Structures are given as C-alpha cells and as structure tokens.
Amino acid sequence: MDRAQLLSMFRTMATEIAEKDFSHVTEESVIADLGIDSLGMLELVGSMERELEVQIPDDELVGIQTVDQLLDLVEKRTT
C-alpha cells in the first residue's frame, strides 16, 4: 500500500469515527488541529492496525504530532 492509499485510508476512517469531512487533510496536517479528539485518534490508530494487520507500540505513538509522522510509523510496519 503506497502513501497516497494510506492517506486516503486515514481520511476515510477519520470520517467514520468523528462523523465529519476530512477530505482536506494532508500529510502536513497537525493532528491536534484536525477536529478529532485524542480518544477518536486512538480509535483511528486501532482501525488502521486492524485493517493492515500491524501493531504499533504505545511508546512510539507518544511523540506523534502530524499525519505524516503517523503514516511513517504505519508504513514502516507494513513494508
């Protein structure tokens, strides 16, 4: 799965969880500004983990602030 597909998965899942539009989200977006709360973000990470059958350790998630940092983590584990 390439980066564009991962970003699109992120948008779709965010929309499903927070029930609003996330089509404007780019890799540079700051997660805290997206309008999805931290519980919702954890749900989203969980959904991506399930879909891609990967597991991201908690302590690696702690420093994440932007969408591209999160996608880096996911990509590292899918390839």
The residue ranges that bind other proteins (CB under 8 A) are: 18, 31-43, 45-46, 49-50, 55, 57-59, 61-65
Report in angstroms how near the CB of residue 26 gets to other proteins at its nearest: 16
Quote the DSSP letter at residue 77: H
What's the rounded Cα separation, in Å, for the pair 42 and 60? 13
- By C-beta, is 55 or 79 nearer to other proteins? 55
- By C-beta, is 38 or 79 nearer to other proteins? 38
What's the rounded Cα separation, in Å, for the pair 40 and 42? 5
The candidate with the shortest Cα–Cα distance to 78, out of 42, 48, 44, 41, is 48
Report in angstroms how near the CB of residue 40 gets to other proteins at its nearest: 8
